[in-house]
Structure 1
Amino acid sequence: MAILVTGGAGYIGSHMVWALLDAGEDVVVVDRLSTGFRWAVAPKARFYLGDIGDKDLLSQIFVENSIEAIVHFAGSIVVPDSVSAPLEYYENNTCNTRRLIAAAVEAGIDKIIFSSTAAVYGTPDVALPVTEDTPLRPENPYGQSKLMSEVMLRDASAAHDLRHVVLRYFNVAGADIAGRAGQSSLGATHLLKVACEAALGKRKTLSVWGTDYDTHDGTGVRDYIHVNDLVDAHLAALTYLREGGPSMTANCGYGVGYSVLDVLRAVRQACGHPFAIEYGPRRPGDAAYIVADSSRARALLGWKPRYNDLRLIVESALDWERRLKEVATPDLEGLRQRLASGF
C-alpha cells in the first residue's frame, strides 16, 4: 500500500517524500506546483499535478493507487498574506482540507497526518513553552484556517472510521542533511531562507519586522526545528497510527527559543561576512514569543530529535542555498502542465 503526500513538491513535503522512500514506503504525491517544484519530488514517487480540492483528481488517485494513509502538507503558509487575503486562505487551507477528508472517508482511508502550526496558539499569556493544552487563540487567518481544519479532523474522526495525528509545527528551518532537498520557494518569507539569500548576495537586504517586543533583544523569539527532525515526527506518527494509536495532537519543536537577531548572527558567523539589514515596524499577526513543549510527541510517538543545534540548522540551509542553482534545473515540463491546468 502507498502513502499519499499532499504538497509533496514543497519544502517540508519534498523532505517527507525522501524520508518515506528511504523507509521503503511506496509514495504518491499530489501538488498543484503553485509554490513547489516538480524537480523537488524524488524520482521514485508517483506524481499527480493538481489541486486537492479537485474531487475527480482525488478519486483518480484513490482508484489508481492503494492508499493506506495521507500526510497532508498542501496549503498556504504566509501570515501577512493571510491577513490581506483571508478568504483565499480559508479556501485553500480549510475548504480544501474538508474536501480531502471527505474523499478519504469515502475511499475508506483511515489514517491522516495533518500539518498544523503553532499559530493556533497566538501569543501565550506567559513566555513559557506552550503545551497542547495552552488556550487556542489564533491571531491571524492562517492560524485560524489551520485550527478550523483541526476541528474538522476531530469531528470526522469521531463520526467515521478515521484516526489522525495533528502535528503543530513551530518554525521549520534548515535543509536535508543528505543534501537532496531544501527550502527552494521563490520569494520565500522564512527568516532563515531570506537570511541565507542575503548572505550569498541573492538579496540586497533583508527586513527585521519589529524591534520593540518584550524579548531579550526586542525581536520576536521562535523555536526553530530542523526539517529532518520534523519529518521524523511524521514517520513516528505513521508508525503510531499503524499500531492502532488513537487520534492525537502534538507539538513539534525543541523547547528552545531564538530571536530574529540570534538567527541573523548565526548566519553571519556561518557565512563569514556581514549583510545588509533593514528594520521596520511589527507585522500584523506576528506573536512576540512562542516556544514548544514537545513532551507529548516524545512520550506518545517516541520522537527523538537529532538535530537540535542552531549552527547545524543554519549551515545546512546555507549549503542548500549555495547548491540551489545547480540543483534546481528548469522545470519546463512542470510549467507546461501547470499552464495547461490553469494554475
Structure 2
Amino acid sequence: MNSAGTPSRRIGVLLVNLGTPDSPETPDVRRYLNEFLTDGRVIDMPAAIRYPLFQGLVVPLRAPKSAKIYKQLWTDRGSPLLFHGLDLQAKVQAALGPGYVVAFGMRYQKPSIEKALDELREAAVERIIVLPLFPQYASASTGSVQEKVMEIVGKWWVVPSISFISTFTDDPGFIACFAALGKAEMAKQHYDHVMFSYHGIPERHVLKGSHKGYCKLGNCCNSYNKNNRYCYRAQCFETSRLLAKAMGLAPEQYTVSFQSRLQSRLRDPWLQPYSDEVLKEYPAKGIKNVLAFSPAFVADCLETTIEVGEEFKEMFEEAGGEHWQLVPSLNSEPMWVEAVAAMIKQA
C-alpha cells in the first residue's frame, strides 16, 4: 500500500465491446460502418477489393437505412451498448476494489481501445487483463479486439504483461445470469418453445479456423471439446445446451439459429439455420408462444432490441404466432457484474 492507502501494484482490466455511432445521424453512422466494415477480420476480402466495395458502395447505401434503425434504438442516455458498457465498468470497478483499474473501450469509434489502454498506462498498472465482451470467440469480434490491442501496445516502449479472456461460452456465472433472466420471463407465462438466436458469421470463417479440418458444419458441434474449443458454431451450441439444462428444457423444446446475415449482398453462405426463416415456420407447427434469447450479446443493442425484439416479433405474428418475448440482455445486472469480477479474478 502507498501513503494514500492504494495498492502500489494494481492490475488493469480492459472491457471491450464492438462499437456504436456517436449519434444516430447518417454521417456518424457512416463513420462507424466505414470503420467496422473495412476491418479485414470482419470482411475477409483483399484490401484492394474491400475498401472500394464497402467505402464506395455498401456503406453509402446502408448508412441512411441504418441511421433510421439507430434512431429507434437511441434513448435519453444515448446508445444502449455504450451506457450499459459504462455502467458495467463502474460496477465491476466497485466489485473488484482498489487493487484493480477497470477501463472500457470500443473496437470501433468511441471510447476507443487506445484511449482505454492509455488510462491503464497512466495508472501504471502491473499487468493488463483484456475481456472482449463476446461470449463466443469469433475472429471477427474477439480476434479483432485482440489484434487491435496488440497493435497499440506493440508501439509502447514499456509493454506490461497482457492476457486475454478469449471466450466465456461455458462460464458458470454467464450461464447462471442468462438462465435467471429466462426463468423470470418463463414465470410470467407459458412458452411453447425457446429460440437461442446468435449473430451469424460466414461459414468460411468457421472453416478457416477449424483445427486440423475437424469442422464439418454438422454433428461435430454435438460436443464441445479441445478440437472445437474456438469454433464459433460449436460454442453457440454449447452455450445453448448449458442454458437449456439450467432452465430445465428438453432438446425438442428449443432451437439454435443464426441472425444478421449479409448473404443477400455477398452471395456467401452464413451459418444456418437462419433465425428469420425458422421463426416463420413455428406457427404451422403449433408453436404460438416463443421466448427468444440472443446469447451472443451481453448488452442490449440494435441486434437484440430491434432485430430480435421487434423485427422478429413482427415476422412471427404475421406468420400466425401469438406471443414473442425477448429475454433482456445481461447489461449491468448484479449477477453479471459478479460473474465478470469472478472471471477477472480467476484470470
What TM-score, normalized to structure 2?
Answer: 0.27
Higher helix proportion:
2
* Structure label with greater radius of gyration: 2
Q: TM-score of the superposition, structure 1-length normalised?
A: 0.27
